[in-house]
Structure 1
């Protein structure tokens, strides 16, 4: 659940003594072998605020990869868990560059810290007074105020919102159960330019939304979906996938492109599109751009004789109708000792299947099991490899 900060904790951390205490705590390891000793040391030296010091230092360390330049931030564990990764926030900020922006659920300021560098004006608000004080500390150049996200408090601004998706450590998936509820948020700002961060697993078709849905991944992991109002999206675009990499690489595709691809027997490779492409419903558009085709119209795997640059592909060695016995025989004949198993459209649990294969060889292989023409087919492949520029 994490530590519940108080105003007294923040007053202390803002003082010269408190900053020295944070530096002292930051000098401790808090590792598996030293945690008990280090925690005892902080409790002995700073008994009134030990919990705040320990939480701040340990959560900062966990946040470093996700939230860049946050080494001196005030943070809570729950706020960091929901916070937008800096590289994803930069993408949203780039789309809003030069605009006046109001983050109505600013929490500890992870979005504000990026918006302040690109927006004409960046305002943050939140109902939680502790998180609001943290945001003011973390992003001192931003304007912050206490306000209910469902009560418009600025004019002529783009509204950015990130409804809370956790309660008691558990994720909420019902749009009406978010905080604030997504339907209420959309009603409160109807007619305004609005960008709402949502979980990528949200059922977008169940939301009354006429604008764009953008699904964003970072380094292969799907991070979020963002609802962009019509005034913030390109004309005619309803779905977009953005594939980001930490090295600065960006790939985009939208439903404005052609999705005209055939369904044909497999080529030399099976291609597994990035999760953002799949979640955005743009697999066919992706295939059309790269000259790929479908194995089955209902399955997200694509196939072709080449693999797009930077994308993982599996070179097909053998294929057969799936059965545990046949697959075990194939893999043993190929001297397989370890196997990666990918499944789509078939009720197979890789964790349960793997030990049943009784592999004893020395070769690493990949197995892709997919539904093709209503039957389960197993493709034995060379280990997945990333396509290179042609």
Structure 2
């Protein structure tokens, strides 16, 4: 008889297709290391090591101090302390977590994981690549039941510590993501996007490969976290027919997430989520966005909107228009609430001599440069302009028109903030 997990989830027995291996980059941890770090002795030692600065100036002496007290355990204590400090921007309670270097690098920021978990409230969810548990932590308390599994037994042990191994609603086990061990669960996967220490951009080279995940879970509700630059057309060619959600946080695009048809609103195939403003827009929204000359403001839409191909939908929502149908810049006479914009002062052609004279006459010393559709390196241009003044302005450089009517245009602007 198959063993049963929390709340009656049925677990199927499957052999593993390979040994769990720690994937490099940082220090390799063992199960014994994790047991020590979780125990009272390790917890006390970590508190002592955390009191050390471990900065560039004192690193050598701090390590010597730790080694004198903790001997062979020093390396894992130092590594864990440094990883916890680095993780603070991603994991709110990172001071109590255990990580490997690579697991932390791929870990989902808490706000992004929590947003995903909100879409899974009340479901039984199985994270088949749970690593050290950042997705599990977000799911706990939102999902009805949670299973986490990973091929790496050390990461499973760390996840058990990080999410609280005694929670009866969370089951952790070692398993291959491509050999299902649950039935009746919504599957969440976050494939590794590095091979041999190098980032891979082909989803068929993910670990596990995206095409294999889609095939194995073809009859299940499936959520897959992917790199934000993933080729949407290629995803379609691999057989995916659901929703692609692009999420931004802190001004940067964090991920593209695939949601199978059973988990999304009918008719929605693309979604942009801007967590900083609690705003979502989908391709089911109106996209009647005209093209016209610039108004008072130019808006560079959030990267999630641009990446999801929803610039026109975003413009229509906020009463903005495009400067050119092939360029992502929008314009309007009023800024959407909470959105940073660039107030147009003057318009020029792309002639450096003219720009240099205008900026000098306006006493510009600090210059933000935005570029779309034109081959210009902002840093190199800024250097050539030889700024010497005290004012802070911005240049928005873009291309207007197509074919023989195409021209590079420079808008001199004042940032709203």
Per the TM superposition, whether the score is higher than 0.5 is yes
Of residues 369, 375, 381, the one that matches 1:353 is: 381
Matched, 1:340 2:368: yes
Cα distance per residue 1:352-373 (max 9 Å; x no partner): 1111101122211100001111
Of residues 261, 282, 295, the one that matches 1:230 is: 261
Which residue is equivalent to 2:15? none
After TM superposition, the structure 1 = structure 2 runs for residues 363-378 of structure 1, keeping only pairs within 5 Å, are 363-373=391-401, 374-378=406-410
C-alpha deviation, 1:326, in angstroms:
1.6
Of residues 174, 190, 199, the one that matches 1:162 is: 190
List gaps (5 residues or longer) in structure 1.
none
Distance in 1 of aligned mates of 2:269 and 2:38: 46
Cα distance per residue 1:265-289 (max 9 Å; x no partner): 1111110111110111000000011
Could you tell me whether the CA contact under 8 Å between 2:84 and 2:97 is conserved in 1? yes
C-alpha deviation, 1:310, in angstroms:
0.9
Of residues 213, 217, 224, the one that matches 1:185 is: 213
Which residue is equivalent to 2:50? 26
C-alpha deviation, 1:18, in angstroms:
1.8
Distance in 1 of aligned mates of 2:252 and 2:266: 28
Bigger shift: 122-131 or 203-212? 203-212
Which residue is equivalent to 2:36? 12
Distance in 1 of aligned mates of 2:321 and 2:180: 48
Which residue is equivalent to 1:270? 298
Cα distance per residue 1:211-232 (max 9 Å; x no partner): 0000001121111111000000
Distance in 1 of aligned mates of 2:365 and 2:55: 35
Which residue is equivalent to 2:147? 123
C-alpha deviation, 1:169, in angstroms:
3.8
Bigger shift: 67-76 or 14-23? 14-23
- Name the SS for the 2:113 alignment partner: helix
Bigger shift: 96-105 or 146-155? 146-155
Bigger shift: 273-282 or 138-147? 138-147
How many residue pairs align between the two structures? 382
Distance in 1 of aligned mates of 2:99 and 2:257: 24
Distance in 1 of aligned mates of 2:247 and 2:380: 31
Which residue is equivalent to 2:313? 285
Could you tell me whether the CA contact under 8 Å between 2:85 and 2:94 is conserved in 1? no
- Name the SS for the 1:51 alignment partner: helix
- Name the SS for the 1:71 alignment partner: helix
C-alpha deviation, 1:153, in angstroms:
1.1
- Name the SS for the 1:49 alignment partner: helix
TM-score of the pair, normalised by structure 1: 0.96
- Name the SS for the 2:182 alignment partner: coil
C-alpha deviation, 1:71, in angstroms:
1.4
After TM superposition, the structure 1 = structure 2 runs for residues 1-390 of structure 1, keeping only pairs within 5 Å, are 1-139=25-163, 140=165, 141=167, 142-207=170-235, 208-245=239-276, 249-373=277-401, 374-382=406-414, 384-385=415-416
C-alpha deviation, 1:55, in angstroms:
0.8
Distance in 1 of aligned mates of 2:409 and 2:251: 25
- Name the SS for the 1:213 alignment partner: strand
Cα distance per residue 1:338-358 (max 9 Å; x no partner): 101110110000011111101
Distance in 2 of aligned mates of 1:168 and 1:244: 33
C-alpha deviation, 1:168, in angstroms:
4.2
Q: What is the root-mean-square deviation of aligned Cα atoms in Å?
A: 1.1
Could you tell me whether the CA contact under 8 Å between 2:253 and 2:303 is conserved in 1? yes
- Runs of 4+ in structure 1 deviating by more than 6 angstroms, as ranges, are none
Cα distance per residue 1:53-81 (max 9 Å; x no partner): 11111100111121112211111121111
Distance in 1 of aligned mates of 2:50 and 2:197: 26
TM-score of the pair, normalised by structure 2: 0.90
Distance in 1 of aligned mates of 2:137 and 2:298: 41
Cα distance per residue 1:199-247 (max 9 Å; x no partner): 11111111132100000011211111110000000010000011012xx
C-alpha deviation, 1:15, in angstroms:
2.9
